[in-house]
């Protein structure tokens, strides 16, 4: 007997919609096996989601007192914790990421996102100025912040729940309604979140999920919809450009968290063990599929050989394998198409004369995992900033090691990119650490660490890496619109 099909459905105006087409497959990247069908939302369903969201605002969600909205965020955090392992299993099935990472990073951060934004919103004040007027009179200016309205939330596949809740928590907390478009490759956790938010009492229509692809599918239908008041988007720079074009005629605000080509700078006084541990995470975490991952490692010449040898040893120590096994450190790439893209960069690097210190091939992990999109952690030397693999975002478990001699040279090499997302500096000279970190043309600059986040601090990028910042007060600014009231006293 054949198994009944498991559907991952759209959540529109407080209800799961019945599938009305063939849908598309949800595939486990570790094995290549289909495990569910996803209901692709058509234009009509996206329209219902947007109008349902608008109705939720009018029906009172936008005017709900702040303490009720923040209490709801806290209940959502509690409820994700109560259903923690379900979220972990869903995230692992969609992405193939190691179960320990899904627990410690992805789902844990979703809980933290809801709690942090509850705190931030509860503590937020409002701007006010007393203005002195001629003759001793005064005026009072104060800004009331109102919800932006119906917000389109479009997210990628690499950290699906983490990135989604990073936007949904502040958006809902500020009184908006959201229509969420997860990546077609990772539809599960956004759908589970719909259940959780309904369980904790979010009104129908305030959170909607529409599944599908980008162009000529749910992503485009959503961004083209005239009922959208703003778009918060995380994804590639190319898609960001497209989304901006789509919303330009209606002049909607956008918040863009886009790609990166991030540099690490290792000085000769850095603590070697700590640096190697940090670099290994920064290059290979999530199989290199984090926008913050390091793909360019600039190392001071006197320690270049030691750092290269140490990093190779660490890369070889990574354990690829069944994501559900706790000792696994490294999962597959998200899809065969993405692996193809990364393999193309491997070929380009070879053409450019790179020396592959380790990796470069497809590992053999046994018949169970043969159908997965696996790739060996890879390190190169012999490339320069002129070569495409050093200029373009690859988004895989690969990095180029490049020597430098002076601090100035390191700064100019690191800043020689059209991207501007993140960087890390490794040194025991803290004065130099501050100096170099501040000289980086990026949104996030780390010293002797990487991906250490305080969710109240601003997050985002410069250049091709994005527009605007989210996190803490920056999120509240994006998800609200101020009306300044001026009263002559
Ligand atoms: P992507 O740009 O292909 O897709 C992102 C989302 O946009 C998906 O949901 C996709 O369906 C949707 N989309 C695609 N075309 C669209 C269109 N024309 N209109 C509306 N929506 C559309 O990115 P991806 O491959 O899913 O993710 C990887 C990229 O995301 C990398 O470039 C990575 O650096 C970036 N990223 C950035 C950050 C950050 O915070 N800066 C975080 C994670 C990932």
Instruction: In whole angstroms, give the CA distance from residue 303 to residue 427.
Output: 12
Q: Which two tokens stand for residue 88?
A: 């972990």
Residue with tokens 């970190």: 437
How many angstroms separate the CA atoms of 68 and 77, rounded? 14
Nearest CA to ligand 1 atom 26: 156
Q: Quick one: pLDDT at residue 266?
A: 99
434 C-alpha vs ligand 1 centroid, how far in Å?
Answer: 32
Q: What are phi and psi of 169, to 5 degrees?
A: -60, -55
333 near 339, Cβ under 8 Å? yes
Give the pLDDT of residue 5.
Answer: 84
Q: Which atom of ligand 1 is nearest to the CA of 259?
A: 34
Q: How many CA atoms lie within 13 A of 384 on its CB side?
A: 1
Collapsing DSSP states into helix, strand and coil, what is residue 401?
A: strand
Cα–ligand 1 centroid distance for 200 (angstroms): 29
The structure tokens listed for 384 are 């320069």
- Residue 351 annotated as catalytic: no
The pTM of this model reads 0.97
Selection from 240, 216, 248, 245 nearest residue 393 by Cα: 240
In the reported structure, the alpha carbon of residue 236 is separated from the centroid of ligand 1 by a whole-number distance in angstroms of 4
Residues 6+ apart with CB under 8 A from 403: 298, 299, 300, 301, 304
Distance (angstroms) between ligand 1 centre and the Cα of 183 equals 8
What is the full per-residue pLDDT of the chain (489 aa) written as tens digits? 567 789 999 999 999 999 999 999 999 999 999 999 999 999 999 999 999 999 999 999 999 999 999 999 999 999 999 999 999 999 999 999 999 999 999 999 999 999 999 999 999 998 999 999 999 999 999 999 999 999 999 999 999 999 999 999 999 999 999 999 999 999 999 999 999 999 999 999 999 999 999 999 999 999 999 999 999 999 999 999 999 999 999 999 999 999 999 999 999 999 999 999 999 999 999 999 999 999 999 999 999 999 999 999 999 999 999 999 999 999 999 999 999 999 999 999 999 999 999 999 999 999 999 999 999 999 999 999 999 999 999 999 999 999 999 999 999 999 999 999 999 999 999 999 999 999 999 999 999 999 999 999 999 999 999 999 999 999 999 999 999 999 999
Half-sphere exposure of 188 toward its Cβ, with a 13 Å CA cutoff?
22
* Phi, psi (degrees; rounded to nearest 5) at 17: -80, 145
Q: Which residues line ligand 1 (CB under 6 A)?
A: 154-158, 163, 181, 183-184, 213-215, 219-220, 223, 234-236, 239, 242-243, 257-260, 291, 393, 395, 421, 461, 466
Among candidate residues 40, 91, 257, 295, the one labeled active-site is: 257
């Amino acid at each position: 007997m054949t198994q009944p099909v498991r559907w991952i459905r759209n959540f529109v105006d407080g209800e799961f919609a019945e599938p009305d087409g063939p849908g598309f497959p949800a595939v486990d990247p570790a094995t290549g096996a289909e495990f569910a069908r996803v209901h692709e939302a058509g234009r009509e369903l996206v329209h219902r989601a947007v109008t349902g969201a608008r109705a939720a605002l009018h029906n009172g969600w936008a005017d709900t007192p702040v303490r009720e909205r923040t209490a709801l965020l806290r209940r959502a955090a509690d409820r994700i914790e109560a259903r923690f392992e379900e979220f972990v299993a869903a995230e692992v099935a969609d992405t193939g990421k190691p179960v320990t990472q899904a627990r410690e990073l992805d789902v844990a951060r979703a809980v933290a996102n809801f709690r942090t934004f509850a705190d931030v919103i509860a503590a937020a004040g409002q701007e006010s100025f007393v203005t002195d007027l001629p003759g001793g009179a005064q005026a009072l200016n104060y800004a009331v912040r109102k919800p932006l309205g119906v917000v389109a939330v479009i997210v990628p596949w690499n950290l699906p729940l983490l990135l989604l809740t990073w936007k949904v928590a502040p958006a809902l907390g500020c009184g908006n309604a959201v229509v969420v478009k997860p990546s077609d490759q990772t539809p599960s956790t956004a759908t589970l979140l719909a259940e959780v938010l309904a369980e904790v009492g979010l009104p129908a229509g305030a959170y909607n999920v529409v599944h599908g692809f980008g162009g000529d599918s749910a992503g485009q239908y959503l961004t083209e919809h005239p009922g959208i008041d703003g778009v918060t988007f995380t994804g590639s720079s190319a898609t960001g450009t497209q989304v901006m074009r789509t919303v330009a005629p209606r002049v909607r605000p956008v918040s863009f968290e886009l790609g990166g080509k991030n540099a690490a700078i290792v000085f000769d006084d850095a603590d070697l063990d700590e640096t190697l541990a940090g670099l290994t995470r920064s290059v290979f975490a999530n199989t290199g599929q984090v926008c913050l991952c390091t793909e360019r490692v600039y190392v001071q010449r006197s320690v270049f050989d030691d750092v290269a040898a140490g990093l190779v040893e660490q890369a070889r120590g990574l354990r690829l394998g069944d994501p559900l096994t706790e000792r696994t450190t490294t999962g597959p790439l998200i899809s065969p198409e993405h692996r193809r893209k990364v393999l193309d960069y491997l070929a380009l690097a070879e053409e450019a004369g790179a020396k592959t210190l380790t990796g470069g091939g497809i590992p053999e992990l046994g018949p169970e995992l043969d159908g997965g999109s696996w790739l060996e952690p890879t390190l190169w030397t012999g490339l320069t900033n002129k070569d495409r693999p050093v200029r373009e975002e690859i988004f895989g478990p690969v990095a180029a090691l490049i020597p430098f001699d002076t601090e100035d040279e390191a700064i100019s090499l690191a800043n020689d990119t059209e991207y501007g997302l993140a960087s890390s500096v490794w040194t025991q000279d803290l004065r130099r650490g501050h100096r170099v970190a501040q000289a980086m043309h990026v949104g996030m600059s780390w010293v002797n660490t990487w991906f250490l986040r305080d969710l109240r601090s601003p997050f985002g990028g410069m250049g091709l890496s994005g527009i605007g910042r989210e996190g803490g007060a920056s999120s509240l600014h994006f998800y609200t619109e101020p009306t300044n009231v001026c009263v002559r006293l």
